[in-house]
Amino acid sequence: MLINIGRGRHVVDADLIAALDSGQLAHAALDALHPEPLPPDSPLWLHPKVTVMPHVARRPTIRQLVNEIAANIASIEAGGDLLQEVDKAMGY
């Protein structure tokens, strides 16, 4: 698995997709992309082995993370959506 939390230019998208499609990599979690925001037509958005993260410039505390996870669970159990979900129409 590739986890990129550095800079988007460290990853060549076409090479990453080829490695995922060939099975060389099982998954990619991308917090930094190039360009940002990621264009709506980027194949990374829909690739089943890619997780695009929102690239927010903050360092949440454990308490904040636990509260966000609990809020997401409560929302889903109540029939709602995930909170802070990526909005592809907005580009992030």
pLDDT at 25 over 90: yes
Specify the higher pLDDT residue, 37 or 52. 52
pTM: 0.60
Which tens digits make up the pLDDT trace of 38-86? 888 999 999 999 999 877 666 778 898 899 999 999 999 999 988 878 7
Residue 86 located in a structural domain:
no
In a domain, 40, yes or no: yes
Task: State how many domains the chain has.
Answer: 1
**What sign for the dihedral angle of Cα 7, 8, 13, 17?**
positive
In angstroms, the CA 72 to CA 45 distance is 21
Q: Measuring CA to CA, how many Å separate 78 from each of 65, 74, 75? A: 20, 6, 5
* Residue 80 maps to a domain: no
Token pair for residue 24?
A: 């060389």
9 is catalytic: no
Domain of residue 22 covers 2-55
Would you say residue 8 has pLDDT above 80?
no
- Whether the predicted pLDDT of 90 surpasses 70: no
Integer CA distances (angstroms), 74 to 23, 37, 63, 65, in order: 36, 29, 16, 14
Which residue is catalytic, options 27, 55, 58, 63?
55
The reply to whether 25 falls in a domain is: yes
Residue 70 lies in a domain: no
Out of 7, 9, 27, 34, pick the active-site residue: 7
Tell me, yes or no, whether 84 lies in a domain: no
Assigned domain for 17 exists? yes
Q: What is the pLDDT of residue 58?
A: 67
Q: Which residue has the higher pLDDT, 87 or 31?
A: 31
Question: Is residue 42 domain-resident?
Answer: yes
Catalytic (active site) residue 7: yes
Inform me whether the pLDDT recorded for 22 exceeds 90: yes
